[in-house]
Amino acid sequence: MKVLVTGADGFIGSHLTERLLEEGYDVKAFTFYNSFNSWGWLDSLPEKKLNEIEIFSGDIRDPNGVFEAMKGVDKVFHLAALIAIPFSYHSPDSYVDTNIKGTLNVLQAARKLNTSRILITSTSEVYGTAQYVPIDEKHPYQGQSPYSATKIGADRLAESFYRSFNLPVSIVRPFNTYGPRQSARAVIPTIILQLLSGKDRIKLGSLTPTRDFNYVKDTANGFIEIAKSEKTIGEEINIATQDEISIGRLAEELISQINPGVKIICDEQRLRPEKSEVNRLLGSNEKIKNITGWEPKYTFEQGLAETIEFFRNNLDRYKSDIYNI
């Protein structure tokens, strides 16, 4: 079976691409065209694996390129997106173009090509601050940032194509994914990189929000299990651990493992606007467990250990001395 992964050059996309290869799929990777001919994190894969992947460089915002990439493909895992929340505050137009119009391009192409399955990547940010926990798929949506608003828009477009045209769409909604290759803008890499740089103080924003952290290999497995099941067509499905930890407690745990005695200071530029901060995310994983064979395989401790080891060996790839948005 031939599958296409958009955003395959990114954090989750590169891990999903690897897992699909391991599962025996014929994988085409849609990477972002650039003059450096960089394939993102796919460039870090062993040559043997990379040679098994068909690379298609393009731009998810271009409907013609998306259509060409999707020809001859049975399933599409659509992960290409802009995801940084602070960047969405000052550049929301780019999020509309990439997240909403990019998703529309995938849906339109799938309709024309009669693609057998389309998985659209959502985010737990569409829920905003929890109105009840654990957050299940019936929880109200709340656009607390331009980023989350565009992901809500993309999700609803996907739903409309399922209902209007019977397009076999599934909306995959991971909670906070972490692990090797993650951007330095995310909280776990931010903490780890500052600690590994030997600083006696680390800068963070608010310490009170809680998050439900998925290890990236569990997230990738979730995508694959959702794609295997016919029961997931037309459904929105959380990938969550159903456990939460505050940013403050997370930081203390990482400090104890990497560089005990380090102090935490509040950096004003890292604080979200008050009404934009998502104060609590704790996801329900009952639905995905009931309709697929998925369950988390990694403990938080195992995931953190592998993540710390990755960043320890890849410090030269990151700029730990600046605030990455």
Q: Are 58 and 65 in contact (CB under 8 A)?
A: yes
Query: C-alpha 247: how far from its chain's center?
Result: 19
DSSP 3-state helix, strand, coil percentages of the chain (rounded to 5)? 45, 20, 40
Q: What is the DSSP letter of 97?
A: I
Judged by phi (left if over 0) then psi (alpha if -120 to 50, else beta), residue 176 lies in beta
Q: How many helices (H) and strands (E) does the chain have?
A: 12, 13
Per-residue model confidence as pLDDT tens digits over 216-241: 999 999 999 999 999 999 999 999 99
Strands 75-78 and 176-178, bridge-based pairing:
unpaired
Instruction: Give the C-alpha separation, 291 to 296, whole Å.
Output: 15
Going residue by residue through the chain (325 aa), what tens digit of pLDDT does each one get?
Answer: 999 999 999 999 999 999 999 999 999 999 999 999 999 999 999 999 999 999 999 999 999 999 999 999 999 999 999 999 999 999 999 999 999 999 999 999 999 999 999 999 999 999 999 999 999 999 999 999 999 999 999 999 999 999 999 999 999 999 999 999 999 999 999 999 999 988 889 999 999 999 999 999 999 999 999 999 999 999 999 999 999 999 999 999 999 999 999 999 998 989 999 999 999 999 999 999 999 989 999 999 999 999 999 999 999 999 877 888 8
Q: How far is CA 22 from CA 26, 158, 221, in A?
A: 10, 28, 11
Q: End-to-end alpha-carbon separation of the chain, Å?
A: 38
Residue ranges of domains in the chain, CATH in brackets: 2-178+215-239 (3.40.50.720)
Q: Are 73 and 4 in contact (CB under 8 A)?
A: yes
Per-residue model confidence as pLDDT tens digits over 125-166: 999 999 999 999 999 999 999 999 999 999 999 999 999 999
Q: Are 222 and 239 in contact (CB under 8 A)?
A: yes
Q: How far is CA 229 from CA 38, 170, 288, 292, 317, in A?
A: 34, 10, 10, 6, 38
pLDDT of residue 152: 98
For the record, the structure tokens of 181 come out as 């290759």
Percent above pLDDT 70 for the chain: 100
Query: pTM value?
Result: 0.97
